[in-house]
Amino acid sequence: MRAGTADPYFPDHGDTRYRVLSYELDLRYRPAGNRLSATASLTAVATDADVPLREFALDLAAFRLDRVTVDGAPAKYTHRGGKLRVRPAVPPQPGARFAAVIRYSGTPRPVNSEWGTLGWEELSDGALVASQPIGAPSWFPCNDRPADKASYRIAVTVPHGYTVAANGTLVAYDVAAGTTKWVYEQPAPTASYLAAVQIGRYSRTRLTEHPVSQDAAYPARLRARFTHDFARQPQMMQLFEELFGPYPFAEYTVVVVDEDLDIPVEAQGLSTFGANHVDGRRGSERLVAHELAHQWFGNSLTVADWRHIWLNEGFAKYAEWLWSERCGDGVASAADLAAESHAHLSRLPQTLRLGDPGMRKMFDDRLYRRGGLVLHALRRTLGDGPFFVMLKQWAIEHRHGVVSTSRFIEHANRYSVYRLDDLFTQWLDETALPPLP
């Protein structure tokens, strides 16, 4: 890894010399022409214990910069290659808080990656944000590493007629001449890739207020299909609270955009689906469960770096199976789905190392399935009682925290009468597919 970075998969992203405590983003967006003007205000703390913070780096795409200040004073900076390097006039001392304000504008575009474009996407009439794993710099300056979690206040001003959904609770809705300003606050610690804004001409619905407030935004033409396909989401919430502990945020919102998407995408307290995921037959219900489960696994419990992504995707995959097992309409049990996935993986190349898959295999379908199988292997090894206590305590004890594979192994061993090292070595460190216990 390069000096000042924290992720071996993305050494050009993030800076460990500081951590962000809060982001305040004030965005003005014109869908016609895809124009964004914005001010980002960051409160951060210098983390080096020995030397003042003479320079720090933010990740930001190719916008025009109008002004950069640190603690109210103009700062020198360079901005190239997606990196904004800031040199404060008065370097913050070790452990000291500081405030950075960046004013910028331009045409937001997604960043290129191994998986296509990521981040801010212009739609035919609006915009969406899908940043995982490195798309956040496409729309705001950030310390783009998953372990650097902060609170967010996101204000978005758009023309009348557009709905804005963003992370957290809607705390203000201000109407002016021709525009509406939507203001959201998310106090829970949030990774930069999980910050999101969705903009479109949507109808809004509250699905339920119990046990958690659940809202939705979708094209009016899809109302009937949406109402049917998401009708059981409140039941999913009840089940996952039973299995994983209390929902970790104040609310949950789903957005259906008026375009097809390859896959849905989770954000903090918010998930986004494509119109193709709403068919009126619950054909994508497993994905509804998957994205909801990410609110615990991936969002509340966030990986220390991307090597540990199986802790996000494997757990969400297993949540799909648990929903299928418990939803009560005769669909397959978790054991059936685990056996099906095991048979499927056995026919594929045995080249994936789950515990450190490498950047190019982060989103390989084998990682999702094998990650789910690790949990099913643990369930069979521990027994249902200890397993579900272990799973729930994992989510509760690390609520709003940062987790790693080694920490999970340590946690799981607390619930076993004998060490689980061989099981984890086979499933996580070796590429050959082990038999299910």
Q: Are 373 and 271 in contact (CB under 8 A)?
A: no
Q: State percent of the chain over pLDDT 70.
A: 98
> What is the DSSP track for 361-400?
GTT-HHHHHHHHHHHHHHHHHH-HHHHHHHHHHHHHHTTT
Q: What's the pLDDT score for residue 42?
A: 98
Q: What's the pLDDT score for residue 5?
A: 54
Mean predicted lDDT score pLDDT of the chain: 96
Ramachandran bin of 60, using left for φ above 0, alpha for ψ from -120 to 50, beta for the remaining angles: beta
Question: Coil, helix or strand for 146?
Answer: coil
How far apart CA 371 and CA 363 sit, in angstroms, is: 12
Residue 3 C-beta-side C-alpha neighbours within 13 Å: 3
Q: Residue 128 pLDDT more than 90?
A: yes
Question: Coil, helix or strand for 359?
Answer: helix
Q: State percent of the chain over pLDDT 90.
A: 96
Structure tokens at 85: 């390097």
How far apart CA 225 and CA 238 sit, in angstroms, is: 22
Amino acid at 75: A
Residue reference for tokens 């397993």: 387
pLDDT tens per residue across span 286-340:
999 999 999 999 999 999 999 999 999 999 999 999 999 998 666 799 999 999 9
Task: Show Cβ contacts of residue 320 under 8 Å, excluding neighbours closer than 6 positions.
Answer: 286, 289, 290, 293, 337, 372
Structure tokens at 194: 């999980």
The pairing of strands 97-106 and 83-87 is: unpaired
Structure tokens at 139: 């729309």
Q: Are 148 and 14 in contact (CB under 8 A)?
A: yes
Long-range CB contacts for residues 209-212, cutoff 8 Å, separation at least 24? 210/234, 211/237, 211/238, 211/241, 211/247, 212/237, 212/241, 212/247, 212/251, 212/252
Q: What's the pLDDT score for residue 210?
A: 87
Q: What's the pLDDT score for residue 41?
A: 98
Q: Are 258 and 124 in contact (CB under 8 A)?
A: yes
pLDDT tens per residue across span 23-49:
999 999 999 999 999 999 999 999 998
In Å, the largest CA–CA distance within the chain is 68
The pairing of strands 197-200 and 150-159 is: unpaired
H/E/C letters for each residue in 27-91? EEEECCCCEEEEEEEEEEEECCCCCCCCCEEEECCCCEEEEEEECCEECEEEEECCEEEEECCCC
Q: What's the pLDDT score for residue 2?
A: 45
Q: What average pLDDT score do residues 191-219 get?
A: 96
Q: Are 316 and 416 in contact (CB under 8 A)?
A: no
pLDDT tens per residue across span 243-268:
999 999 999 999 999 999 999 999 99
Q: Residue 180 pLDDT more than 60?
A: yes
The secondary structure of the chain in percent helix, strand, coil, rounded to multiples of 5, reads 30, 35, 40
pLDDT tens per residue across span 392-406:
999 999 999 999 999
Residue 6: which pLDDT band, with cuts at 50, 70 and 90?
Answer: confident
Q: What predicted TM-score, i.e. pTM, was given to this entire model?
A: 0.97
How far apart CA 136 and CA 394 sit, in angstroms, is: 28
Domains recognised in the chain with CATH numbers = 1-193 (2.60.40.1730), 202-295 (3.30.2010.30), 302-429 (1.10.390.10)
Q: What average pLDDT score do residues 95-121 get?
A: 96
List, edge to edge, every strand of the sheet that includes 83-87: 56-59, 83-87, 76-80
Q: What's the pLDDT score for residue 49?
A: 86
Q: What's the pLDDT score for residue 1?
A: 39
> What is the DSSP track for 152-177?
EEEEEEEETT-EEEESSEEEEEEEET
How far apart CA 218 and CA 236 sit, in angstroms, is: 20
Q: What average pLDDT score do residues 337-361 get?
A: 98
Taking alpha carbons only, the member of 387, 392, 365 closest to residue 377 is 387
Q: What's the pLDDT score for residue 3?
A: 43
Structure tokens at 282: 């619950």
Residue reference for tokens 């038999």: 435
**Residue 189: is the preceding peptide bond cis (ω within 30°)?**
no
Structure tokens at 325: 């097992």
